[in-house]
Amino acid sequence: MVARVPVLEVRPCLDRGRFPAKVVPGEPLTVEALVLPDTVDVGAAVVLTAPDGKRRDPVPMRHLGDHVWSATVTADAVGAWTYHVESWQESLRTWAGRVVTDIDHALLQYRAHLRGIGVWILVSPLTYSLFCLSVFLMDRALGVGLSLTDYFVIVPVAAVAQAIPIAPAGWGIGEAAYGALIGKFGAAALPGVADAEQMMRTRGVALSVLHRTHVMIWSLVGGVLLLVDRQRHPSDRNLAFDSDDACEPASKS
């Protein structure tokens, strides 16, 4: 008989549970699972069991969307630990209380890192300026012809537009935004030129594609360097986690 809040596809899972996930003591381990309720008011948690058989307090899981729930757990000793995911139905009062608790924890997290947040707020205009400057330098390389000041308006608007989850990575959306904005700004700077807006729109699309290609290349380089570094400095793995659910469909309520 299937419970009303079934739990499926518990991860991490290596070869359908034949091998345990391994981390070092104190290293966070992210546990995910599909929780498929027949109502919206549900909850889920990860429960660790230490090598001596003692159960730790449940760690609440967060709903990431598409029925995926996630939580991060940490073991503090070497040995064969196990974990399982528990799920349950919640009342509206319980759900509201959990939301308030999450907000409270988030505020406490912010309060504990006020200095770091303040430094980032002060530094963020610099990173934003560098972003606009990189686009401006590409403008000069392509001969688009807009000023740096123009890009302090165009870049943030285009960035927000391409973040709209319509196309993969905003492809097409960003190009349309850059094309439209650069077309308008460029046409205003070229009075009397026939088809100035269409000409500048084409340059804007080309600029957007060049910028994406630039970011993609450097991202790939960074990914390769990260993989090489991990190969040269492999972490010592001596703490094992086993899932009680062994990667098979399970439900606990």
Pairing status of strand 239-243 against strand 80-89: parallel
pTM (whole model) above 0.85: no
Tens of pLDDT, residue by residue over 143-202, are: 888 999 999 999 999 989 888 888 887 888 889 999 999 999 988 878 778 888 899 999
Beta bridge partners of 29: 73
CATH tag, 6-112: 2.60.40.10
Residues of the chain with CATH 2.60.40.10: 6-112
- pLDDT value at position 111? 83
Task: Work out the burial of residue 39: count CB atoms within 10 Å of its CB; fewer than 13 is exposed, 13-18 middle, 19 or more buried.
Answer: exposed
C-alpha R_g of the chain: 25
Q: 251: pLDDT confidence band, cut at 50, 70 and 90?
A: very low
Task: Work out the burial of residue 134: count CB atoms within 10 Å of its CB; fewer than 13 is exposed, 13-18 middle, 19 or more buried.
Answer: middle
Tens of pLDDT, residue by residue over 207-236, are: 999 988 988 899 999 999 988 888 887 654
What does the pLDDT average to over 29-49? 83
Mean of the per-residue pLDDT values of the chain: 83
The answer for 53, left when phi > 0, alpha when psi is -120 to 50, beta otherwise, is: left
- pLDDT value at position 2? 41
